[in-house]
Every structure is written in structure tokens, then in C-alpha cells.
Chain A
């Protein structure tokens, strides 16, 4: 049972434009959400997180939005850069003891 879903396997965006990556979840018990970025042959790298008590968290070019009623979160990257090209995973946690990952979205930023 996939509790965290990323329905877009891939996304292509022009350099300088906004990239929006989406994630849906089913378990209302999740209390923390995270985004990871993964390059080939490397482990995932933590990018940004948000607690369930917030609806927005911003860090530089990266902003995560959480819509609890829709059980949906999104990652906005503005402006997108070629170095942002990677696979992005969203993840959700219950009390920090179990983590559930989506299947990933491969982002390509076109120069």
C-alpha cells in the first residue's frame, strides 16, 4: 500500500522558470514531510522539510507547500537551474520513527 505517491515520473522545465513537483499522501497521521534530491550513484540528499502544523516553508529557491485537507504537498523551485536536474523524492513520517517515500519525480532543467 503506497501511502505517499508522486504521480508524475518526470518533469521538464526551462532554465529560469518555476518547477513544481507534487506529492499526495493517504495517512492523516503523518506529522512531518520532507523532500530529498537524488543524483545517480549517490544517496538521497535532504532538501527541505515542513511540519504538519505549518502550510509553507521557504529556504532560498525552494518552497514547500502543505495542504492538509487535500493531503497534498508540493515543492516549488524558483528559478530553476540546470544543476537542479535530479530525481526528487517526497517523504512523510509518523513521529520520526517511520518514514515513507514516494516513487520519485525526475526533473530535467533545460538550459
Chain B
């Protein structure tokens, strides 16, 4: 079975630009979460979506937004990019159907975003 996939793998953008990152969850998983990981730190929670509804939001500015599609894939959008947005962006999927296993998140390889 295919794992979580993310695109693109790497991306270079200029300050002030907009970026869209994409994620396809594991087949059968209905929940997708997004994380930002800067060097030397653990992943920081940005959003969680389940059945196209936002279920959780971390402490990130409104420049960050996301959505989930009927096929459970997801996009993370970041507007007005800042140098500090340079990071590895991770997507994780989980069954999200309730019960203990809904907590187990499976991560994709990430998208490395560099803002210059």
C-alpha cells in the first residue's frame, strides 16, 4: 500500500509570494494533519482536518490556511511568505474514525520550503 505522499519535494520561493503544498493520505485514512518543522526542533502542529472539516488549529498566523477535498487529500496554503517560513512541512494521515488508532499518525516525507 502506498504511504502518505507529498508534493513537491522541494520548493524555493521569494518573500511575499504564495505557496501551495499538497498531500495525499494513506488509502482509507480520513484525517490529515499539517506540521512545520524547523531545523533542530520537533514538528509544530498547524492544522488537522477530518472529513473536510477543520478539527484542530495550532498557533500559526492567518497567512496559513488549509483545506481537505472529498477524496481526503489536502492542501496547505501560505500567503505573504516570510523568511521564517522556511522549514520542512510535514503531512500526516490517520484513520480518524475514532478509537485509539485514530491517534496514530503516519507521516509523509515532507516538502522542504526555502524562502529567499
Residues of A that sit less than 8 Å from B by CB: 4, 6, 32, 34, 36, 41-46, 49, 51, 89, 91, 93, 96-104
Contact = CB atoms under 8 A, between A and B. Distances in A.
A103 B90 contact: no
Contact of A46 (B35, B43, B105): B105
Nearest to A36: B107
16 contacts: A6-B42, A32-B103, A34-B104, A42-B109, A44-B43, A46-B104, A46-B107, A51-B100, A89-B42, A96-B94, A98-B45, A98-B48, A99-B33, A99-B105, A101-B35, A101-B42
B104 A103 contact: no
Contact of A101 (B43, B48, B102, B108): B43
Nearest to A6: B42
Q: Which of B42, B105, B106 counts the most chain A CB atoms within 10 A?
A: B42
A97 B109 contact: no
B90 to A, nearest CB: 5
Interface of B: 4, 33, 35, 40-45, 48, 55-58, 90, 92, 94, 96, 100, 102-110
A25 to B, nearest CB: 13
A106 to B, nearest CB: 11
Contacts, number: 63
Contacts of B109: 41-43
Contacts of A104: 41-42
Given A34-B103, A44-B107, A46-B106, A101 B44 contact: yes
Main secondary structure of the interface of A (DSSP, over half): strand
Nearest to B57: A98
Contacts of A44: 43, 90, 107
Nearest to B48: A97
Contacts of A93: 103
A10 B89 CA distance: 24
B42 A96 contact: no
Contacts of A34: 103-105
Contacts of A96: 94, 96, 102-103
A102 B96 CA distance: 22
